[in-house]
């Protein structure tokens, strides 16, 4: 009984947090014409992008650690099996770059694990197909989702060439430890799609995405169109590749090999 | 005219009750899905569409196929088809209803369905698919119902209906093309990313759809006094034969492109379906090839094609072949390999099949009621009625006097 009440109060707190976040999201998506004030410290960019240094970050444990931080921050449910929900995860070279396989690849490169997440493509096919604009591209290039708009048709999942999206087949809150919820971020309901959001809620407060902050320099983050941004600096100096460049979505996550 | 659906034989009511029972049983699974979410299905993160969407795709073909009777009648004044037209239109109505229903059960938040209308998104093909499907449903309801009503009071079909009829003929092609675009425009899904997909969809629709229609008509003949005119039947069978040949030709084009180019992405789905998948699926895919070959052989040989005893079996074989290809293989082949070039097997669960059964039973119910009304009106009018010799009143029949002479 007591336990139930505690859970209820927590859920209520989460719901309230959700309500508090919603208006902010609305401001962000309306292109800034709203009279509501934007955080003065908020970071701005034309197109956010990330560089993953796989020479520094390539073990499953390290990537899992980042995934855990990401999933905790965003209340991503833990579900076993092929109906899993994930925003950040890892996979092998062959699965990450299937078109750039090479039988005589340096063994060390082949044995690395690669961090995967939504690429926040410049030309995202998921946005193109969504029939309700629940998936949309923000002015700062982030491909964001309105979980309250999504009808769960999963067209975006079929369209994403990178497998970056998850669907809540069942009640996601059953996959959460309710005592460890992050009250700053809403939970989702069943029947909607979700994915990495480049931590828009942190950028709005002038902070880097949670995974970047925790990566100890292995992840660079910044504006792709600002020559002085950390991302551009790395791209200038190091050789990088992207996943499936052939499909023309212009992914904004780059990998140093 | 709806009152005609209420007066029927015991057998008619027994059939209706049977369908209602099926719907009731299936709806328990649907209620379960509404309460617990789509987790009751076999779909997954990698295979995000399943049996529901593939049935929708197959049935769009059935809806579009009515045009194969309507088009010769209105565009070529092929009047032999005249009394079959209404059945093509009524079949399309039932098929559209089933299609829409399959979409409703597939989405995760059905109560938000209206978001598609509140936030119209012309860059999404799903938006256009909704428009064309609903439009086609409306057109067929309007045309079918108005024509039948005019027939009943022995009036010519109203003139203002003409533009709607011509629109509906063109519209029929659009519904299947748009549905193909749903798949065809997706990057990274090699099995679907082919310019010929829409053409393949139309070809397979124009063989499987009329085949299903003919089978249903044969059953209708058994239980009513309606009789298909011989020539209309023959024309339709020829259309089916041509469409099936074209369908398989298009399939062969896909195979050539994939394997002669030797591009792995294009070969993987085909190799998966015909070689590496679970033995059940591989067997099914080869059954598709075998049945397609058998049905084509039977259809192009005049001796077999004109054999009315054999025809139902030929059609059944053809329907099974096209269903495996389009109602199962197309979807699974598209999602496997996954974006990671891995394989996540998909197979529908029992509950998924029960929900599908509910929708098919609903479709059967709609077909039964509409066909009942249509055949009753035809009987009142004396159109296409069966003669003692087994011919239709529309045929130039010379067997009746011969029988009398005996
Ligand atoms: S990676 Fe996929 S989900 Fe993310 S923006 Fe690109 S297409 Fe959309
Ligand atoms: S599942 Fe949601 S986000 Fe994805 S396409 Fe459908 S409505 Fe848009």
* Domain around B248: 7-375
Phi, psi of B382 (to 5 degrees): 75, 25
Query: Of the bound ligands, which one is closest to the alpha carbon of residue B38?
Result: 2
Residues B247-267, mean pLDDT to the nearest whole number: 96
The answer to whether position B190 is within a domain reads yes
Q: Which residue has the tokens 């003949």?
A: B221
CA neighbor of B251 nearest in space, from B194, B183, B314, B178: B194
Under 8 Å between Cβ of A198 and A32: no
Q: Which ranges in B185-226 belong to alpha helices (H)? A: 197-223
Indicate whether residue A159 lines ligand 2 (CB < 6 A): no
The answer to whether position B91 is within a domain reads yes
pLDDT reported for residue B406: 42
Which residue minimizes the CA distance to atom 2 of ligand 2? A150
Q: What's B239's domain CATH number?
A: 1.20.1630.10
Query: Alpha-carbon Rg of chain B, whole angstroms?
Result: 22
Burial of A78 (0-12, 13-18, 19+ CB in 10 A): middle
B125-168: per-residue pLDDT in tens?
999 999 999 999 999 999 999 999 999 998 988 999 999 999 99
From CA B133, how far away is CA B131, in angstroms rounded? 6
At residue B398, does pLDDT exceed 80?
no
The answer to whether position B397 is within a domain reads no
Indicate whether residue A155 lines ligand 2 (CB < 6 A): yes
The answer to whether position B1 is within a domain reads no
Chain A residues within an 8 Å CB radius of B178: none
**Whether residue B278 has a cis bond before it, omega within 30° of 0:** no
Query: Of the bound ligands, which one is closest to the alpha carbon of residue A193?
Result: 2
Alpha-carbon distance B266 to nearest alpha carbon in chain A (angstroms) = 12
The answer to whether position B396 is within a domain reads no
The 8-class DSSP code of residue B387 comes to: P
SS (H, E, C) chain A: CHHHHHHHHHHHHHHHHHHHHHHHHHHHHCCCCCCCCCCCCCCCCCCEEEEEECCCCCCHHHHHHHHHHHHHHCCCCCCCCCCCCCCCEEECHHHHCHHHCCCCCCHHHHHCCEEECCCCCCCCHHHHHCCCCCEEECCCCCEEECCCCCCCCCHHHHHCCCCCCEECCCCHHHHCCHHHCCCCCCCCCCCCEECCCCCHHHHCCCCCCHHHHHCCCCEEEEECCCCCCHHHHHHHHCCEECCCHHHCCCCCEEEEC
Higher-pLDDT residue of B236 and B2 is B236
CB contact under 8 A, B186 and A158: yes
A90-144: per-residue pLDDT in tens?
999 999 999 888 889 999 999 999 999 999 999 999 999 999 999 999 999 999 9
CB contact under 8 A, B344 and A158: no
The answer to whether position B44 is within a domain reads yes
B11-31: per-residue pLDDT in tens?
999 999 999 999 999 999 999
* Closest CB from A134, A193, A247 relative to B188: A247
CA neighbor of A164 nearest in space, from A58, A64, A249, A257: A249
* Closest CB from A131, A171, A249 relative to B187: A249
The answer to whether position B390 is within a domain reads no
pLDDT reported for residue A1: 41
For the question of an ipTM over 0.95, the answer is: no
The answer to whether position B399 is within a domain reads no
From CA A55, how far away is CA B47, in angstroms rounded? 32
Q: Which of B51, B340, B342, B344 to mutate to test the interface with A (most CBs of A within 10 A)?
A: B340
pLDDT reported for residue A30: 46
Residues B31-47, mean pLDDT to the nearest whole number: 96
Q: What is the B337 CA–ligand 1 centroid distance (Å)?
A: 18
Alpha-carbon distance A83 to nearest alpha carbon in chain B (angstroms) = 5
B78-116: per-residue pLDDT in tens?
888 888 899 999 999 999 999 999 999 999 999 999 999
At residue B202, does pLDDT exceed 90?
yes
Q: How many domains does chain B have?
A: 1
Chain A residues within an 8 Å CB radius of B119: 132-133, 149
pLDDT reported for residue A23: 46
């Amino acid at each position: 009984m007591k336990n139930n009440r505690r859970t209820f109060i927590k859920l209520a707190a989460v719901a309230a947090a959700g309500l508090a976040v919603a208006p902010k999201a609305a401001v962000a998506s309306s292109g800034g014409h709203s009279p509501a004030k934007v955080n003065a410290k908020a970071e701005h960019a034309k197109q956010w992008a990330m560089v993953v240094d796989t020479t520094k970050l390539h073990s499953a444990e390290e990537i899992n650690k980042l995934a855990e931080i990401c999933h905790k921050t965003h209340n991503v449910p833990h579900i076993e099996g092929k109906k899993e929900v994930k925003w950040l995860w890892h996979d092998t070279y062959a699965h990450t770059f299937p078109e750039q396989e090479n039988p005589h690849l340096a063994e060390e490169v082949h044995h690395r694990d690669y961090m995967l997440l939504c690429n926040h493509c410049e030309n995202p096919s998921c946005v193109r197909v969504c029939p309700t604009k629940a998936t949309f591209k923000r002015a700062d290039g982030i491909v964001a989702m309105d979980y309250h708009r999504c009808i769960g048709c999963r067209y975006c999942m079929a369209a994403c060439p990178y497998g970056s999206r998850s669907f809540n087949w069942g009640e996601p809150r059953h996959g959460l430890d309710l005592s460890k919820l992050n009250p700053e971020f809403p939970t989702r309901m069943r029947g909607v799609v979700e994915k990495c959001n480049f931590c828009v809620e942190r950028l709005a407060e002038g902070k880097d995405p949670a995974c970047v902050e925790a990566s100890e320099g292995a992840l660079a983050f910044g504006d792709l169109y600002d020559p002085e941004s950390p991302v551009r600096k790395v791209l200038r100096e190091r050789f990088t590749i992207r996943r499936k460049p052939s499909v023309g979505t212009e992914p904004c996550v780059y990998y140093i090999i | 005219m709806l009152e005609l659906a209420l007066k029927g034989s015991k057998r008619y009511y027994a059939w209706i009750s049977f369908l209602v029972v099926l719907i009731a049983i299936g709806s328990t699974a649907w209620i379960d899905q509404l309460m617990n979410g789509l987790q009751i299905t076999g779909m997954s993160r990698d295979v995000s569409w399943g049996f529901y969407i593939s049935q929708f795709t197959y049935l769009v073909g059935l809806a579009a196929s009515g045009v194969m009777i309507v088009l010769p009648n209105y565009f070529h004044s092929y009047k032999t088809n005249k009394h079959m037209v209404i059945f093509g239109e009524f079949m399309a109505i039932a098929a559209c209803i089933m299609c829409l229903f399959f979409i409703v059960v597939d989405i995760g938040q059905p109560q938000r369905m209206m978001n598609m209308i509140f936030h119209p998104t012309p860059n999404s093909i799903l938006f256009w698919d909704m428009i064309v499907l609903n439009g086609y449903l409306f057109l067929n309801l309007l045309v079918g119902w108005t024509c039948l009503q005019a027939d009943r009071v022995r009036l010519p079909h109203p003139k203002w209906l003409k533009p709607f009829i011509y629109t509906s003929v063109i519209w029929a092609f659009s519904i299947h093309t748009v549905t193909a675009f749903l798949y065809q425009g997706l990057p990274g899904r090699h099995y679907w990313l082919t310019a010929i997909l829409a053409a393949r969809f139309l070809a397979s629709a124009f063989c499987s759809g009329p085949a299903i229609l003919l089978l249903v008509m044969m059953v209708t003949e058994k239980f009513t006094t309606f009789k298909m005119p011989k020539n209309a039947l023959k024309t339709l069978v020829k259309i089916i034969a041509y469409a099936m040949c074209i369908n398989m030709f298009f399939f062969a084009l896909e195979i050539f492109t994939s394997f002669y180019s030797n591009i792995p992405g294009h070969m993987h789905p085909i190799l998966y379906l015909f070689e590496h998948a679970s033995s059940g699926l591989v067997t099914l895919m080869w059954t598709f090839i075998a049945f397609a070959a058998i049905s084509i052989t039977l259809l192009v040989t005049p001796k077999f094609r004109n054999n009315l005893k054999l025809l139902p079996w030929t059609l059944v074989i053809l329907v099974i072949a096209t269903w495996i290809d389009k109602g199962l293989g197309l979807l699974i082949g598209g999602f496997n390999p996954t974006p990671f070039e891995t394989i996540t097997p998909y197979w529908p669960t029992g509950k998924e099949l029960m929900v599908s059964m509910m929708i098919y039973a609903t479709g059967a119910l709609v077909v039964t009621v509409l066909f009942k009304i249509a055949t009753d009106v035809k009987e009142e009018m004396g159109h296409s009625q069966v003669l003692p010799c087994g011919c239709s009143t529309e045929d130039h029949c010379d067997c009746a006097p011969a029988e009398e002479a005996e």
